[in-house]
Amino acid sequence: MPKRFRLTRRFPAAMTEDGYRRLRRFAAEAGLDEGEALSFLFEHFDSVTDHEALQHRLRLFNSELEARKG
């Protein structure tokens, strides 16, 4: 019998508008709701990211973060 998928953790999360739109688009394309899509992405994080590209994008995001907060 397959393991039942349960969302057992809830947490308040703040996201940028661009990030939330992208999450909603990904979830819709995958036939998931936003919580299921986030669970999928984090459960399979290593296989859905390119480590070098992730490091580069993270540096860019961090360098722009203060300007985006204002």
Tokens 């019998």 locate to 1
**Which residues are within 8 A (CB) of 39 and not within 5 positions of it... i.e. 6 or more apart?**
7
Residue 31 lies in a domain: no
Name residue 63's amino acid. Answer: S
- pTM, rounded to two decimals: 0.77
Q: Is residue 9 part of a domain?
A: no
Domain, as residue range, for 45: 41-70
19-67 pLDDT per residue, tens: 999 999 999 999 999 999 999 999 999 999 999 999 999 999 999 988 8
Q: Is residue 54 part of a domain?
A: yes
Q: Which amino acid is at 19?
A: G
d(CA 17, CA 5): 28
- Please indicate, yes or no, if residue 21 is contained in any of the structural domains: no
> What's the rounded Cα separation, in Å, for the pair 7 and 1?
19
Number of domains into which the chain is organized? 1
